[in-house]
Structure 1
Amino acid sequence: MDLPSVLLCILLDLLAVSCQELIQGRIVGGYAPAPHSIKYIVSIQSTRGQHFCGGSLINIYWVLTAAHCTIGVEQIMIVAGDYSVSMYEGTEQFFIPQLLIPHPQYNKITNNADIMLIKLKAPVYLNSYVSIAPLPRQSASVAEGRLCRVSGWGFTSSSGGQIPSSLRTVKLPIVSTAKCNSSESFNGNITSNMICAGYSAGRQDACKGDSGGPLVCEGRIYGVVSWGMGCADAKYPGVYTAVSKYRRWIDRIMFSYYGRCSKD
């Protein structure tokens, strides 16, 4: 582990977040989209205002993110309508979570079922800066080669560096599970609950995740940034939790607490 990673892990340790999570994060080879053009993304921050994970609004009360982003309901806040996490723009909405609900089958070792729902204490106000993203139906799939968009506030270089102040995004092609699971890549560690995305040449990637951020294909959130190997490596695409495998679980949880399901 290089010195920047060590220093970042020390900082993250102070925020009670795992070292693995920070190194798992960040858009490489992307660009800054037009301000507030990606309205469904939220910044998950410590109560000190430090961004550490991304998430997506799927209901006025609910955020979808990764299970490995949990650090305790009293230690985080959710910021919607954000573009630059380093300054106040007047478009932000701040929320305190009421519940963190990681999937009961989440496995820290295999990264399987790396998905979590966050229930907000108050509803978001939908406007020209904040919107809700739809989800795919249960077991829906996206074709190999289809370009999908991943976004986040993570590092812009595989070697670390400074976290960018403004949102970044990049489009990546879906990689088949067979290719991703080959002996030249993840060698069987990709489960049926995961999606791979990235270029064969590397260079552009969500790395091992911009933790919890959305992978949007055909206008729907098909993936949650989860893990990977290295950063923008040609042999190892980014790995995402396959949201369509958990659509029934998502709807069941939201209905049980709120009486409504996610936006279709």
Structure 2
Amino acid sequence: MRARHLTGILVCALAVAVAPTAPAAADPAPAPATAATPTDSLRPDPGPGTRIVNGQRTTVRENPAVIAGLRVGGGGPQGASCTASVVGKRKILTAAHCMIDVSGEKSYLYGDDDLDSAGDESFRTKVASYKAHPKYTGPGSWRQGYDVAVVTTADDIPVPESQWAKVAGSADAALTRPGASGTSVGYGNVGPGGSSGVLYKTTLPINDAGRCQVFDIKVDPDVMVCAGYDDGRTANCSGDSGGPFTVDGVVVGVSSWGSSKCDRYSIMARLTNEMGDWAKAQIGGGQPGDGKFSVELNPSSGRATPGGHVSTTLTSQAGDAGAERIDLSATGLPTGASAVFQPASLTSGGTSKVTFQTSAQTPAGSHTVTVHAKGASGTRTATYTLTVGDGNGTDGPRPTVSPTSGTVTGGRYVNVDVTVSGGRGPSTLSATGLPSAPTFSPRTVPAGGTSRMTAMAPYQAGTYKITVTATDKEGRTGSADYTLTVR
């Protein structure tokens, strides 16, 4: 902007010297910056301003909660796709679009400062499951915000509890006030095209949202944090998605989106509101250093026949304030089921045997039960997956799709989660309604399981109804519809 302004002054001076009565030409208003998610699918145009400038190399040792997100087909080294934070023994915090907007089996790698040199990492694990914020309704929803997800890994992550990232919530709103500064860390792009795979950090100031309305998409201050600079002197880019934005040692935002050329502000999913509260509830247990106790169920799932029972153990740990009395209860129990705690009250640091008793009227299937532990410092929760019978209902399979609709341009891909309940045994998925049949990963799922459907939009504009069919091992079927609008 300084260079363009100076040019305008020189032209104006020349006009005065040659023709004093001629009006000076005004600088044209800059075009809005094209917004894009800084994932590995982004390919910035080459040229000045497309690289993350003024970042500094850093290490996992300096940032022990940072972990690399990989996916099959990812654009970075070893399939690097996103960045994330370790927030629990098997819990990772990242951006929802890292899980929903890109296809390919996902996994995480820990302990490597440079992904170009394979073998330096100390740990790899697959994704067991994930939950995106319920208001992140499908691919491209980062435009409206709520771009946060909590991932559960298949294995314990070798990061001590004292080094887990601390996540902000609605009580921490002051941390994202304009004028504060935070640190962004990621494995993202440091030059035109592709992810770097090298861990970098940079310091970004937090701005008033009014200054950040320079994109073709609105920056919503209720669910987004605008950080960085309008000239992009340092910014997040491709591959940094999902990485932590930290203020005073607390993760207040998750890297979400920015300029398609990575040369303007960086937009984070805000956690200093109900989004952070939601994430902390999904994480479960105590956040390090918040002074509160933590609870955990081990095992966290089990099976019982109708009329039978299954037990687990609740383990608690005292917080910074020391031991306190904890009262236990449960919600989300299916019809005819109850939870018995032995004991129902304990002192933090102790354990309780939890028994889930079912009845003949308890419906078959998988049910999520939430155990609540209430103490003087607050309430903690832990979830238990209770499977009754063989996990299948007596009816045919019932698929559901999430989201139920989407809009894309012709030739682009959409990803949809398909969850199947009921049926006998695993169900095989298929779909009709498009010239090119959608694919499923995996194609066969057990009752309660989820598959990712990937469909390519036809090049001809219009509205298409995709019918997803689940067929169980006895040949019974169920279906659900997804509406695809091609513009």
TM-score (norm: length of structure 1): 0.77
1:122 aligns with 2:147: no
Q: C-alpha separation between the residues in 1 aligned to 2:287 and 2:103?
A: 22
Structural mapping, 1:63-102, within 5 Å: 63-70=92-99, 75-102=105-132
Q: SS of 1:59's equivalent?
A: coil
Do 2:82 and 2:239's aligned partners in 1 also have CA atoms closer than 8 Å?
no
Unpaired stretches in structure 2, ≥5 consecutive residues? 1-36, 45-49, 291-487
Q: Of 156, 177, 186, which residue of structure 2 is paired with 1:143? A: 177
Do 1:155 and 1:161's aligned partners in 2 also have CA atoms closer than 8 Å?
yes
Q: C-alpha separation between the residues in 2 aligned to 1:104 and 1:220?
A: 23
Q: CA deviation at 1:136?
A: 1.7
Q: C-alpha separation between the residues in 1 aligned to 2:98 and 2:217?
A: 25
- Corresponding residue number in structure 1 for 2:440: none
Q: Of 240, 248, 251, which residue of structure 2 is paired with 1:218? A: 248
Q: C-alpha separation between the residues in 2 aligned to 1:51 and 1:151?
A: 15
Q: CA deviation at 1:197?
A: 0.4
Q: Which protein is bigger by CA-based radius of gyration?
A: 2
- Higher share of residues assigned helix: 1
- Corresponding residue number in structure 2 for 1:241: 269
Find runs of 4+ consecutive structure 1 residues off by over 6 angstroms.
24-27
Q: CA deviation at 1:51?
A: 0.5
Q: C-alpha separation between the residues in 2 aligned to 1:136 and 1:99?
A: 23
Q: C-alpha separation between the residues in 2 aligned to 1:20 and 1:156?
A: 13
Q: 1:239 to 1:78 in 2, by over 3 A?
A: same
TM-align CA RMSD: 3.0
Do 1:69 and 1:211's aligned partners in 2 also have CA atoms closer than 8 Å?
yes
Q: SS of 1:86's equivalent?
A: coil
- The structure showing larger relative contact order (alpha-carbon pairs under 8 Å, at least 6 residues apart) is 1
Percent identity between the two aligned chains: 21
Q: CA deviation at 1:143?
A: 2.7
Do 1:175 and 1:237's aligned partners in 2 also have CA atoms closer than 8 Å?
no
Q: CA deviation at 1:52?
A: 0.5
The alignment of Structure 1 onto Structure 2 pairs a total of residues equal to 235
- Corresponding residue number in structure 1 for 2:13: none
Q: C-alpha separation between the residues in 2 aligned to 1:120 and 1:147?
A: 31
1:32 aligns with 2:60: no
Q: C-alpha separation between the residues in 1 aligned to 2:180 and 2:43?
A: 23
Do 1:27 and 1:151's aligned partners in 2 also have CA atoms closer than 8 Å?
no
Q: SS of 1:114's equivalent?
A: coil
Do 1:24 and 1:211's aligned partners in 2 also have CA atoms closer than 8 Å?
no
Unpaired stretches in structure 1, ≥5 consecutive residues? 1-17
TM-score (norm: length of structure 2): 0.44
- Corresponding residue number in structure 2 for 1:104: 134
Do 1:226 and 1:241's aligned partners in 2 also have CA atoms closer than 8 Å?
yes
Q: 1:27 to 1:145 in 2, by over 3 A?
A: farther
Q: C-alpha separation between the residues in 1 aligned to 2:270 and 2:43?
A: 17
Q: What letter is aligned with 1:28?
A: I
- Corresponding residue number in structure 1 for 2:232: 202
Q: C-alpha separation between the residues in 1 aligned to 2:150 and 2:51?
A: 22
- Corresponding residue number in structure 1 for 2:210: 178
Q: 1:153 to 1:124 in 2, by over 3 A?
A: same
Q: What letter is aligned with 1:87?
A: S
Q: 1:120 to 1:73 in 2, by over 3 A?
A: farther
**How big is each residue's C-alpha offset from its partner over 1:185-236, in whole Å with a ceiling of 9 and x where there is no partner?**
2477122110010124322101477111111111111111111223343xx4
- Corresponding residue number in structure 1 for 2:367: none
- Higher share of residues assigned strand: 2
**How big is each residue's C-alpha offset from its partner over 1:113-172, in whole Å with a ceiling of 9 and x where there is no partner?**
011110112221225xx9311112325232323221111111113xx2453242111111
Q: 1:212 to 1:200 in 2, by over 3 A?
A: same
Q: What letter is aligned with 2:186?
A: G
Q: C-alpha separation between the residues in 2 aligned to 1:101 and 1:24?
A: 27
Q: CA deviation at 1:101?
A: 0.8
Q: C-alpha separation between the residues in 1 aligned to 2:150 and 2:258?
A: 22
Q: C-alpha separation between the residues in 2 aligned to 1:161 and 1:188?
A: 23
Q: CA deviation at 1:47?
A: 4.8
Q: CA deviation at 1:35?
A: 5.7
Q: C-alpha separation between the residues in 2 aligned to 1:172 and 1:85?
A: 24
